Structure 1
Amino acid sequence: MKSLVVAEVYPWPADDGYRLRVSNLIEAFVELGPVDFVCMDGSDCFRGAAPDGITVIDAPEGPERPIGQWLKPWLTTRLPRRILRRDFDAATRRFAEIDQAAYDVCFVSHLDTWHPIGEHLTLPTLVDFDNLEDLLTRTIRKAGPIVQPGDGVSAKAKAVLRWVIASGFNLVDERRWARAQRHLAAHVERTFVCSQLDVARSAIPNVVAVPNGYQRTFEPASHFEPNDPSAPVFLFIGLLSYDPNADAVRWFASSVLPLVRQRLPNATFRVVGRGAEHVSAVAALPGVELVGGVESLEPELRGADVAVIPLRSGAGTRLKVVEAMANRLPMVTTTIGCEGIDLDDGIHAWIRDDAREFAEACVAAVQNTALRATVIDAAERRYLERYQWSSIRAMVSKLALEVVEAQQR
């Protein structure tokens, strides 16, 4: 069986949540046979070697279109502005040259990527939505303006004005994303989202839950006891150019950490991930260590005492939650931070939404060592039962085979 795979990013190295998801879904098709990977990544990011069995076909996306080119189509069509901003023209022409008769099945990552090539596809196709974009757009709108720590009155006023303008666009685009998702689903055999919760929200008949997973590459520390109870380390890992992550870091650093440090004066908040320039203002706050990207997460995961997932917007499921479970880090998260992942408050994690309650849970995760130990063990068991990439890849391979066999009947 030979597969054609299309994605907007080159996922090796898999150094953020989306690339990790894409790389594992592609490898699910490699388990069925050779894969030709049409890569629409037009960035100059470092590229590691693709795994065996994958042939890369470059079809790079062009530079983002300026507002003068996308605003009129946005006003006269029913497409979300992000789709209109992206220039896949050259990539689409390159895709049209491919002989689809040489393949048995196609897998596409993201609605954005499918949109310019959908009319050219003749193969049975599976598409990974990953996020439900209408839900993501709504939660970003409701999260409010982006205000940097230390902003004065003028800067705050400008942030509110930007948010008001963006919210007007987003209110329209929420409905457009929902329509675009339904349109795509009507033209392919299967669609994927990250959780059963998103299956229910999508109201799409051919959608399947394909959760985010994690694969251990080292034996985790036990973490039953904090490394230093007098100076605990609270860890956030994520792509910091992603708005929900940036908002989460700002909120924890400015609204939660000061409350934690009233009880634990030497507590630190380590922020790890590419795109640190997007949250640079938090580096000036007491107790914040803005690390940025790292070559290996192992020292960060071993050196931390509590994982924090203080997200207030977003969609899909968060890899950072499963990562904490797999690495035996006790976790404090918001409801939206662990949405779609099968966790119970007080059993697998502390789930809090108010800043003061979130801070109190952080202190408890350090000081209540008996509860800390039971939470760590329960979360690890849940990870082993449901969120290992090896079992998720096997499920995707089976779904692909079912689609091909149904087409051959």
Structure 2
Amino acid sequence: MRILFLAPVVPWPLTQGRNLRNFHLLRILAERHEVELLCGTFDAGPPTLPSEVATLAEFAAVVVWPTRPLATRFLDMGRHVPDIWQAYASDPLVDTALARHTTKPFDCVHVAGFEMMGTWNRVRHRLSARVPYVLDEHNIEYRLRESMQADETLSVADIPYRLYNHLQTHRTRHHETGSWRSAWHVSTVSPEDRDQVLEHVPAHRVSLVPNCLDVRSLPKVDRNSVRPHSLLFMGKMDYRPNVTGVTWFCREVMPALRERFPDASFTILGRDPAADVQALNDMPGVTVTGFVESLVPFLEQAATFVVPLFQGGGTRFKVLEALAAGIPLVSTNQGIAGLPLENGTHCLLADNPSDLVTAIARTWTEPEPAWSRVANGRRLVETRFDWSAIAPTLEGIYV
């Protein structure tokens, strides 16, 4: 089968969830199909494609997404389409897709995320014959916006954001559910997301394709140098659910935790930390690293991996990476949403400050149960969340 793979950004480096998913899905599809990749970048300068990605595709091209000043974004609000579609809009990409299809027609299109549906709609409406598409939903975008709209930490100063988000939530829900209905197939990362899609689409057109890891290629983590009473969180730190979560944790949980364990520390690791996150560096015991070249030293030293999230969708690669690395896990229920983790078997779950302090303390004062949960968690990742385990499901969509 000849497949066009439309991705929002170059799926490299493999340091964030979107890139990890798109790279491995591209790799799996390229093993049996003729795949062409069209994607974009926000980086300045001539667009480039790393050899690790270029070798997977029969043809690949990268465009630079146009910058959008605030005035442009304001005017775009009158266009009645989701703002996220405007962020990933490019005439050169549309023209390239049409030219490649004219040269040799595609049998199917893989749309990597709802944000690329605006571009794909512009392409497909100019085709003389229908080309089916698979929409791979990394999360349910409108549900993510709904959770942000319910954020109780927003202040009066955030009223403009609330109004903007309310408008975008409505538009996104309308266009996202419409995209499901017109798709040949929809793939989701979690059972909860799948159930949401099933309210609009027949079951035979929806598949669960969870986020996974390439377990064999994971770096070896030596857990003999753990730093006592240390916590770690990893994620993209300009992503609002992450910003809200770690800020809340530092203000509501860390003071009580340090009363009980004065040497308790919390490392927040991830690229592009927002100003609110950078300010957390001033709090006792908190370190914000920004981007790091290697995760291994941090995975080796962390006594506990904590996921203090109350918003967001999909599933989180960093949770899988922590389990694979053998780090005891403490999370909110939302933090592990979409993953079949059981409280007390694979991790400890808590949703308020006092319960989180208690759960973290248990990982530090009850080592045998903690390491039993670690062993169960790693076993789960190896058996159910390796990319090789979901390859047959993905292949079954493209038949």
Change over 3 Å in CA distance of 1:320–1:27 after alignment to 2: same
CA contact (8 A) 1:220 1:302 kept: no
SS at match of 2:100: coil
1:26 Cα shift? 1.0
Equivalenced residues, count: 383
Off by >6 Å, runs of 4+ in structure 1: none
Q: Is the 8 A contact 2:267 2:289 kept in 1?
A: yes
- CA deviations over 1:323-361 (Å, ceiling 9, x no partner): 112111110111111111101111111111101211211
Given the alignment of the two structures, is residue 107 of structure 1 paired with residue 110 of structure 2, yes or no? yes
Q: Structure 1: how far apart are the matches of 2:194 and 2:218?
A: 33
Shift of 1:46: 7.8
Please point out which of 374, 377, 388 is paired with 1:390.
388
Q: Deviations over 1:40-63 (max 9, x none)?
A: 224249853234232321233211
2: CA distance, partners of 1:34 / 1:87: 25
The answer to whether structure 1 residue 275 and structure 2 residue 283 are counterparts is: no
Q: What is the rounded CA distance, in whole Å, between the counterparts of 2:225 and 2:349 in structure 1?
A: 20
Asked if residue 60 in structure 1 is aligned to residue 64 in structure 2, the reply is: yes
Aligned to 2:21: 21
| 2:257 corresponds to 1:254 | no
Q: Does 1:316 align with 2:314?
A: yes
Give 1:18 deviation, angstroms: 1.2
SS in 2 for 1:329: coil
Deviates more, 1:3-12 or 1:251-260: 251-260
Please give the residue correspondences for 1:39-188 in structure 2 after superposition, counting only pairs within 5 Å: 39-44=39-44, 48-51=50-53, 52-54=55-57, 55-64=59-68, 66-75=69-78, 77=80, 79-99=81-101, 101-121=104-124, 122-145=130-153, 160-188=155-183
In the TM superposition, residue 370 of structure 1 has moved relative to its aligned partner by: 1.8
Matched residue type, 2:134: L
2:36 aligns to what SS in structure 1? Answer: strand
Work out the CA distance in 2 between the residues paired with 1:46 and 1:367. Answer: 50
CA contact (8 A) 1:306 1:330 kept: yes
**Counterpart among 332, 335, 346 of residue 333 in structure 2:** 335
Question: 1:241 corresponds to which residue?
Answer: 238
AA of the residue aligned to 2:142: D
User: Aligned partner of 1:186: which letter?
Assistant: R
Could you tell me the TM-score, scaled by structure 1's length?
Answer: 0.87
| Distance in 1 (alpha carbons) for counterparts of 2:263 and 2:361 | 12
Measure the CA separation in 2 of the matches of 1:141 and 1:243: 11
1: CA distance, partners of 2:26 / 2:149:
32
Letter in 1 for 2:209: V
Residues 365 and 220 of structure 1: CA distance in aligned 2, closer, same or farther (over 3 Å) = farther
Deviation for aligned residue 1:67: 4.3
CA distance in structure 2 between the partners assigned to 1:347 and 1:290 by the alignment: 30
Alignment partner for residue 291 of structure 2, among 290, 293, 304?
293
Whichever residue aligns with residue 93 of structure 1, its letter is: D
8 A Cα contact 1:74 1:84, kept in partner: no
Partner of 1:407 in structure 2?
none
**CA shift in 2, pair 1:263/1:164, >3 Å:** same
Per the alignment, residue 127 of structure 2 pairs with none
Cα offsets for 1:23-81 (capped at 9, x unmatched): 111112111133211112242498532342323212332112x344344553462x223
* 2-structure distance, mates of 1:307, 1:220: 17
Among 330, 348, 351, the residue aligned to 2:349: 351
What is the TM-score of this pair, normalised by structure 2?
Answer: 0.89
- Per the TM alignment, residue 380 of structure 1 is displaced from its structure 2 partner at its CA by 1.4
Using the TM superposition, give the Cα deviation of residue 109 of structure 1 relative to its aligned residue in structure 2, in angstroms: 0.8
- Residues in 2 aligned to 1:328 and 1:204: alpha-carbon distance in whole angstroms: 39
The gaps in structure 2 that reach 5 residues or longer are: 125-129
Q: What letter matches 2:91 in structure 1?
A: D
Aligned twin of 1:34 = 34
Deviation track 1:205-253 (CA, whole Å, cap 9, x = no partner) reads 1332211111233465575x8824xx32211111111111111221222
Rounded Cα–Cα distance in structure 1 between residues aligned with 2:219 and 2:92: 45
For structure 1, the 5+ residue unaligned runs are: 147-159, 403-409
**Conservation of the 8 A alpha-carbon contact between 1:24 and 1:393:** no
> Offset of 1:10 from its aligned partner?
0.5
CA 1:302 to 1:47, structure 2 compared with 1: closer, same or farther past 3 Å?
A: farther
Q: 1:76 to 1:125 in 2, by over 3 A?
A: closer
CA contact (8 A) 1:139 1:313 kept: yes
Tell me what 1:208 maps to.
207
Instruction: Give the structure 1 partner of residue 12 of structure 2.
Output: 12
Distance 1:124 1:81 in 2: 25
